[in-house]
């Protein structure tokens, strides 16, 4: 059984993010940019939650590194989508951003297994 129930808190943060984005960008933007920015800010929230999880790990819960990776992937997908919208369909910048982030995640996940064991 998890010690902290962060599901309700995360749902509340999602609703607040969506409300702020709808107020800020609703009249002048299309729905794609609102959804992509929602993914970006939810990715930032998951990265923040991974920091909380690192300080108080749970026995059978998701690890902090796993949550960090999911947060970065949400951030990458939302950022690439929004970058595609800003460049009016020039997809090369979005692909480059996504590939760089996937490469960084691959290197970061390979580093702990390369450490020397005492």
pTM, two decimal places = 0.77
Q: What is the pLDDT of residue 117?
A: 60
What is d(CA 59, CA 71) in angstroms, rounded to the nearest whole number? 21
Q: What is the pLDDT of residue 31?
A: 78
CB-based contact 75:44 (threshold 8 Å): yes
Q: What is the pLDDT of residue 1?
A: 44
Q: What is the pLDDT of residue 54?
A: 75
- Tokens matching residue 68: 């960090």
Stretches where the chain sits below pLDDT 70 are 1-4, 26, 113-118
Q: What is the pLDDT of residue 28?
A: 72
Q: What is the pLDDT of residue 14?
A: 84
């Amino acid at each position: 059984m998890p010690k902290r129930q962060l599901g309700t808190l995360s749902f509340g943060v999602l609703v607040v993010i969506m409300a702020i984005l709808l107020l800020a960008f609703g009249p002048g933007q299309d729905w794609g940019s609102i959804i992509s920015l929602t993914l970006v800010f939810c990715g930032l929230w998951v990265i923040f939650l991974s920091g909380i999880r690192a300080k108080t790990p749970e026995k059978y819960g998701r690890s902090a590194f796993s949550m960090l990776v999911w947060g970065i992937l949400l951030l990458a997908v939302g950022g690439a989508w929004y970058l595609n919208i800003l460049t009016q369909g020039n997809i090369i910048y979005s692909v480059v951003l996504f590939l760089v982030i996937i490469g960084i995640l691959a290197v970061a996940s390979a580093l702990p297994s390369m450490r020397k064991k005492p």
